[in-house]
Structure 1
Amino acid sequence: MSAAAPVLAAGALVWRRVDDEVLVLLVERTQHRDFSLPKGKLDPGETLPECAVREIEEETGLRIALGAPLPQSEYRLPDGRDKVVYYWQSKVDEAEAAVAASRFASNDEILALEWLPIAEAKQRCSYRHDVAVIERFEERLAAGHAETFPIIALRHAKATSPFDWEGTDASRALTTRGERQAKQAAPGIAAFAPARILTSDATRCLQTVEPLRRLTGIEPKARAEISQDAHELDHGSLRSAIERRVAKAVRKRRGTVLCSHAPVIPEIVTAVVHAADALESERTHRASMLHTAEFTVMHISAGETPALVGLETHAPREP
């Protein structure tokens, strides 16, 4: 017999500053009367980032944007199944915390919300795996990497085969599956609250970011220099153009989505690595080898010196 698939869940270490002190949010669960980081189980068709944002709002009333990923927790449930919980760090301001406090009311799942200093939060946690997540965040905080912004490389969704398309390659449209992939990926990308969407001017890329446009209200800007045609015509010029584009986004601390094609995605990832003064590695290489509608999120420190704080890849999930 094969082992049962693990139960997947997602949550966040939500934090804020009050009078120069960092406070971390814990929830007291109604039935268990324990204290933990807020989290919840993945719904069918959700990506993990989408789940984290939804669960935090449902449990606490807070509307968050995800920052860099934190260590995942793995443990055995009473029924013998394994559970894996994915976490991100997420800063909120005082205004959002106040609005969320007015929204929150004790319920069957969450009895109370507790904003605590880091040392007290670690003592209050009922589970060691939550303490480990807080300790990793504490290290980031000490290093000046508690606040980040995302550069997101997105490969276009499934397009019509070139052998079945009579027009130019750039005019190829998404298939029905591709349209579904684009719609499924959009909430996961939006969970990181990008400020800008740049896309190849190819039809399949423009169609891929359309659900993200509808969800975020951000108007995509088409750029021929990140298209597959540009890659094939003048690879050197494309690389230089991407490096300039990414360096500008990093310099301005601007969360940016770049939607492009399989041959171009590695150039985007490499440009981000270089702009963050990081080293290329097997991990960054794997993060650039995307299937259709997959996206890699590179989290750059918003501190004085850019640094690659985290890197993760996600795929749309069939319901």
Structure 2
Amino acid sequence: MTATAVYAAGGVLWRQVDGKLHILLIHRTQYRDVTLPKGKVDPGETLVETAIREIFEETGIHVALGLPVGVSRYHMPKGREKIVHYWSAEVTEDAVRDSKFVPNKEIAALEWVTPKHALSYLSYPVDVEIVENFLRFVDDGVLETFPIIVLRHAKAMSRTDWEKSDASRPLARRGFRQAASIVAPLRAFGVRRIISSDAVRCVSTVEPLAKALGRAVRTSELISQDAWEEGKHDSRTIVGKRVRSRKPAVICSHGPVLPDIMNELALATGTLRGSYLGSASALEVGAFSVVHLSRTNPGSGIAAIETHLPKV
């Protein structure tokens, strides 16, 4: 992020209405325009946290983020550049019913329209471009998706300061802060399953997430660094199960093991391997890459990958 730009985040919310795809537009009270739900980043927030918060504040709808569908850039009246990141987000019927939205001083109305209607109805060309990006995924048969998130454990105590086994090496003070800080960003993608190397530093990284979700951490030595160093690791078994389940999951492992996990994700989904996989697996401690897959046809390849850095 640059110091001078204003950052924001939002979403293309979609649902099926009578078998037809509709997306949600908002009518803003003050500006008398029609746009997509979005808002500025608050201090200390990540972009995905902003997207979730702003979508809820403007629509009353709880969502999990799907595919990244583009970034819009434009200059504000005083000349500062505004950069807005967007994700697709499926809206369930339960979420629609649970929404407590009422017209207010910021949002006059919500309106579900077909994508074709939206393209001619939106007030700004930058919003039109985002919807067009979203529709390219739809045209490619990618609408319903699920994420598999590859996470590198948070900062651990130095090996030179630890006399016991490497697998028992705990998180450093910064690592515990990182583990707490990634809970909200991971929840933004609707994570429901947590798989971790059995090393202490990995389990400790995902324990705050597990507590927040009320879920157990499933540990496996197959993706541990010890197994990798001994040539006994087996990322394929772990990855294959997660792809077949078609449920949002996070896999927490170690730097040397991450490239193998990412390669197995490519193999399991029929994706051509390339340098992008190396970039997505070369994570610093506490960082994660979100691999988006089609829920209806996971074998159709990786739809998108995005990487997120830790806040601390």
The interval holding the TM-score normalised by the smaller chain is: over 0.9
Question: What is the distance in 2 between the residues matched to 1:116 and 1:85?
Answer: 22
Q: Does the Cα contact within 8 Å between 1:7 and 1:81 map onto a contact in 2?
A: yes
Q: Give, in whole Å, the separation in 2 of the partners of 1:301 and 1:189.
A: 19
Q: How does 1:162-201 map to 2 (within 5 A)?
A: 162-201=159-198
Deviation at 1:252, TM superposition (A): 2.3
CA distance, structure 2, for counterparts of residue 274 and residue 79 of structure 1: 49
Q: CA deviation at 1:42?
A: 1.3
Alignment gaps of 5+ in structure 1: none
- Alignment-derived partner of residue 244 in structure 2: 251
Hey, what's the Cα distance between the residues in 1 that align with 2:210 and 2:44? 20
Asked whether 1:219 is paired with 2:212, we answer no
Deviation, 1:99, is: 1.8
Residue 305 of structure 2 corresponds to residue 311 of structure 1:
yes
The residue number in structure 2 matching 1:138 is 135
Alpha-carbon offset, residue 4 of structure 1: 4.1
- 2:281 aligns with 288
Taking structure 1 as reference, are residues 53 and 43 closer, same or farther at Cα in structure 2, changes over 3 Å only?
same
Instruction: Determine the structure 1 residue equivalent to 2:6.
Output: 7
User: Structure 1 CA distance, aligned partners of 2:149 and 2:3?
Assistant: 33
Deviations 1:149-188 (A, max 9, x none): 1111000111111111122111111111111111111111
Q: How many residues align?
A: 310
The offset of 1:110, in angstroms, is 1.4
Q: Could you list the runs of 4 or more consecutive aligned residues of structure 1 that deviate by over 4 angstroms after TM superposition?
A: none
Determine what percentage of the aligned residue pairs are the same residue: 45
* CA contact 2:192–2:213 (8 Å) conserved in 1: no
SS at match of 1:285: helix
Distance, in Å, in 2 between the alignment partners of 1:306 and 1:213 is 30
The one-letter code matched in structure 2 to 1:24 is I
Map of 1:49 onto structure 2: 48
Give the alignment's TM-score, normalised by structure 1. 0.94
Q: Distance in 2 between matches of 1:285 and 1:50?
A: 26
RMSD: 1.3
Contact 1:184/1:317, CA 8 A, preserved across alignment: yes
Contact 2:181–2:310, Cα closer than 8 Å, also in 1: yes
Give structure 2 stretches of 5+ with no counterpart.
none
1:203 is matched with: 200
Matched with 2:92 is 93
Q: Which residue of 1 aligns with 2:114?
A: 117
The question of 1:264 aligning with 2:257 is answered: yes
In the alignment, what sits opposite 1:32? 31
Does the 8 A contact of 1:275 with 1:306 survive in 2? Answer: no
Shift of 1:254: 2.1
